[in-house]
Structures are given as C-alpha cells and as structure tokens.
Amino acid sequence: MITNGIVLQMDAENTRIQNGAVAVVKDKIVAVGTRDEFANWNAVRVIDAEGGIIMPGLVNAHTHAAMTCFRGLADDLPLMTWLNEHIFPAESRLDEETVYRGSLLACAEMIRSGTTCFCDMYLFEGAVARAAHTAGVRAVVGEVLYDFPSPNYGEIVQGFAYTEKLIEKWRDDPLITIAVEPHSPYLCAPDLLKQASEQARRHQIPLIIHLSETQSEVEGIKEKYGRTPVGFLDDQGVLAPNLLACHCVVLNDDDISLLKDHDVKVAHNPESNMKLASGVAPVPKMLDKGICVALGTDGCASNNNLDIFLEMDTAAKLHKVDTLDPTVMDATTVLRMSTIDGARALGLDHEIGSLEPGKAADIIVIDTRKPHLTPMYNPVSHLVYAARGSDVAYSVINGNEVMNKGKFSSLDEVKVMADVEEIAEEIRKANGTTEL
C-alpha cells in the first residue's frame, strides 16, 4: 500500500485524489482511492508518502543508455561533427561489458530521477536488456541497424539475426520489450528499412528510428530521393502505428499530415535538440493534429543527463517562447507526455503510464517537503516547473520497490559509478589525454 499522498492517476480524466492511496498485489495495481477507503485493508508493506505526490513512473521515450560513458566527452559541436569525429570513433571501441556497465549507470540515474521505463537504441543491446533486468527497470530495447558494419554484429544481415535472437530470448520477460531499430533514413538504405519494418510487423513489436533531426538531414534525403525523410519513409511503406519517430525537428505541414494519417508516434528530445542546435520541433502543431508525442532525453553525450523532470520543464518553456504563446504546452499536457502518452508511444499504454486497477505497478512518490516545492497550489504545475529528479523518494517498478528514500534495492550504486570511472579512464588514454 502506498498511502497518505496526492494521487495523480494520469487516466483519461486526469483524476486527482487528495489524501489518496494505491493498493498493489504482486505486480499489479488492484485499487486506487481515498486513504479512508483502505482503512480496513491489511498490507504486508506500507509506504507513507507523507503528504507527497503518488504518481505513475516517468517514461523516457528515447535514449542511448550506455552513452553515460561519454557524458561530456565532446560538447559544443555540430551534430555531424559530434557523431563522425567523436561519437562513432568512441563507439567503435565498445564491447558488451562496457555497454552493460554504462547501462547500469543509466538505470541508476533514471531510477533516482523517477523514470521507471525507458526506450533504448544502441549497440550490444543484449547487454542493455540485461542491465535493465538486473536493475529492475522496464525497458524497450533494440539493436541499432545501419548500412555500415557494426562493432557488435558486423554486416547488416547479422544485425537482423541478432535482433531475432533478442526477440526470442526476451519474449516472455515482464520488464523487457524488444524493438526493431534502424538508425535513420540517412544511414539506412530502402531495402534495410523495408526489412526492418517487416520484421517489426511480423513480431508485432515497435519499430523505432531517428527522423528529420536536422535541416541538413532533410536536404540530404531530398537530394538523394526527391522527398523529405517523412515522405521517403512513406514511399517505403514504413510509416505505421507501431513506428516511433525520434526527434522530428524539421517537418513541413505535409510531413505532419503523413505522421497523423499513419498514427506514427513521436519522441521529442528538447534538451538534446537545443544543445546540438538542431532546431525546435513543431510539437504544438503535432499535438493540435492529434499526434501522440512523448518525451525523451536522448543520450548523455548530447544532453547531458537522463532526468525527465528537467526535460518536462524545458519542453514546456521552449515551445512557449518559440511560439510566443504562454498557453501552449500546458503542464497537464507535458506531464501526460512523460507518463501515459510515453507509454502509448511505446505500445505499453495498456500496461503502464497511469495508476489504474489491472495495470502494472510502476509508481513513484515525490517528496514535496522541500523549499522549492513550497507552497503548492497545483501539484501538476509543480511537477513540470519546480520539481527535480532528486525529489523522488520511492520508486516501485512492476510491484518491486527498487528505491526507498534514495536507497537502491537492486544496484550497488557506488560500484556502478566506479565501473564507469574505469571506462572513462580508458577513453582518456585512448584519446591521448588525462584531462579531467
């Protein structure tokens, strides 16, 4: 039982319960109501929210977990320079153990800041799945597929085989969902994209891709194929309800209409887009069209954190100043983007994203007894504009209490950080520097 707090259900009615409680049996929510309604219930474990906020865990709809190893490695550079001259060379030296350690650090950071489910695209994704499972975090993971040889699987034919093995291995796991993840239109030929789409469709799993992230990407695809990246994917038959398109910064009205017509979901990454000067995604236009837009952090090398609370604050304010309209991206809309809409974007809204009986018990408690959260007139506004990841006191994922007042039950946080410090030292040596 999680009790004595303001319950934000994030259901269709945005139900808010003062002095509320949530009852959990094994991995499921069985009841939500006022504290008094549970007066005669007997609970094996009671979490006292102490007047704080009880809410669904946050969903990080797009990240690259193991890039915690590269946090701050190459800042203040254009996207293609950042990728080609720094990130891709560093990634060429990755192995499964490095990805596992970096992903464990990402899981620790996300648990501590309220994320209970994340969507990952990277190399050696079997290691990411293993790390998420070890940490007790829900994850949608997929091996990045592209035309050039991968440090993990080699040629692309082996990439699809590797993805098949992941699907089979994690098919019945309660926390891990496998996705098919071609990198982008500019790194994937038409045949690769079609095969990826078919593989995802055959297994009825998510298909995830970077899309229209920069103006140069759009111009390059138009020069090569005569269409925008969105139009190009439409030509290949890739646009579909199971497609999660990440970034979608540079879109025209026709692109937005195509995304809506095919019920494509979008992962918005405002802090990464700002840092890399990619531009401002037309999120208010997409929302007005009824497109499902979720929030993601992107990787730690381009953000440089995995805190969805900071992402919410940035998203709300960025679009207000961009449109010169203080009413766009209101707090409720943004909070839904990081909870129920994030779950919907990953095809998991039947299971997580709101506090409703029958859904998985992915729940966090926010400690509101803080100077920066006092006074509190509107808890939703506070979550978007005032709260921080460090305000999360408890995290329950799939019915398991993975963090209790900042203490982890599934991870040795000190060891996890020390392991990545060792990796960072190796990276410094490989780069011929000892710079701190």
Q: What is the DSSP string of 204-246?
A: T--EEEEES-SHHHHHHHHHHHSS-HHHHHHHTT---TTEEEE
Least confident of 11-20, 69-78, 189-198, 369-378: 69-78
The pLDDT assigned to 88 comes to: 78
pLDDT at 395 over 70: yes
Mean pLDDT of 111-124: 98
Rounded to 5°, angle at Cα 301 from 296 and 306: 40
The pLDDT assigned to 176 comes to: 98
Rounded to 5°, angle at Cα 65 from 69 and 276: 80
The pLDDT assigned to 127 comes to: 98
**Which H or E run includes 76?**
none
The residue to which tokens 């789409």 are assigned: 197
pLDDT at 434 over 60: no
pLDDT at 156 over 90: yes
Grade residue 242 by pLDDT with cuts at 50, 70 and 90.
very high
The pLDDT assigned to 429 comes to: 83
Mean pLDDT of 155-184: 98
The pLDDT assigned to 101 comes to: 97
Residues 27/13, Cβ–Cβ less than 8 Å? no
The pLDDT assigned to 80 comes to: 79
By C-alpha distance, which of 108, 60, 136, 115 is closest to 346?
60
Whole-Å CA distances, 229 to 92, 192, 284, 299: 27, 15, 20, 22
Mean pLDDT of 100-109: 98
Mean pLDDT of 330-350: 98
Pull the structure tokens for residue 369.
């007894």
By C-alpha distance, which of 281, 170, 185 is closest to 224?
185
Pull the structure tokens for residue 12.
């269709």
Residues 34/3, Cβ–Cβ less than 8 Å? no
Residue 58 to residue 336: CA distance in whole angstroms: 9
Mean pLDDT of 32-47: 96
pLDDT at 435 over 60: no
Q: What is the pTM of this model?
A: 0.97
The pLDDT assigned to 82 comes to: 78
Grade residue 13 by pLDDT with cuts at 50, 70 and 90.
very high
Q: What share of the chain is helix, strand, coil (3-state, %, to 5)?
A: 40, 20, 35
User: What is the residue extent of each domain of the chain?
Assistant: 2-56+353-408, 58-345
Q: What percent of the chain has pLDDT over 70?
A: 99
Grade residue 281 by pLDDT with cuts at 50, 70 and 90.
very high
pLDDT at 436 over 60: no
Average pLDDT value for the chain: 96
Residues 341/293, Cβ–Cβ less than 8 Å? yes
By C-alpha distance, which of 110, 127, 68 is closest to 419?
68
pLDDT at 174 over 70: yes
The pLDDT assigned to 64 comes to: 97
Mean pLDDT of 256-266: 98
The pLDDT assigned to 433 comes to: 57
* Widest pairwise Cα distance in the chain: 68
Q: Which fold has domain 2-56+353-408?
A: Urease, subunit C; domain 1 (2.30.40)
pLDDT digits (tens, 9 = 90+) for 124-137: 999 999 999 999 99
The residue to which tokens 């440089």 are assigned: 304
The pLDDT assigned to 30 comes to: 98
Residue 199 to residue 180: CA distance in whole angstroms: 7
pLDDT at 432 over 70: no
Mean pLDDT of 347-357: 98
pLDDT at 77 over 90: no
The pLDDT assigned to 83 comes to: 77
Domain 58-345 in CATH: superfamily? Metal-dependent hydrolases (3.20.20.140)
pLDDT digits (tens, 9 = 90+) for 217-230: 999 999 999 999 99
Mean pLDDT of 380-403: 98
pLDDT at 92 over 90: no
pLDDT at 166 over 90: yes
The pLDDT assigned to 86 comes to: 83
